[in-house]
Amino acid sequence: MALAAVALAATLGSACVHAQLPEPTQLVDAQHCMFCHTTDAPFLAPSFHQIAERYRDTPHADAILEKKLRLGGPAHWGETPMPLPADRGGPLSREDAHVLVQWVLSQ
């Protein structure tokens, strides 16, 4: 019985790790994310699903992506760089970057 409970807890725990978070629509709109990205298909930049797949098992992926989101930078896929914050809606706080990245990684 105890072994079954441990197995169930492990299964539920892993399901929660990959649970899709609700879209932070105000942040997505304010940062104009959908100008280059879509949820599930590449557009001018990779889809959020592609980003999640690529970084899902990368240690410290959230910190890497939060920095990229807050500072902009060169392209890692294709030729479209991540625009500077001033070019896509203005500065982004660490907290807001964290919310956006956690949502993307949950895709």
Pick out the residues of the known binding site: 33, 37, 82
Other CB atoms within 10 Å distance of the CB of residue 33: 21
Beta bridge partners of 98: none
Instruction: Please report which residue ranges of the chain form alpha helices under DSSP H.
Output: 2-17, 25-30, 48-55, 61-71, 94-105
Annotated binding site for heme c: 33, 37, 82
Burial label for 100, CB within 10 Å (0-12, 13-18, 19+), is buried
Structure tokens that stand for 33 in this block: 């994310």
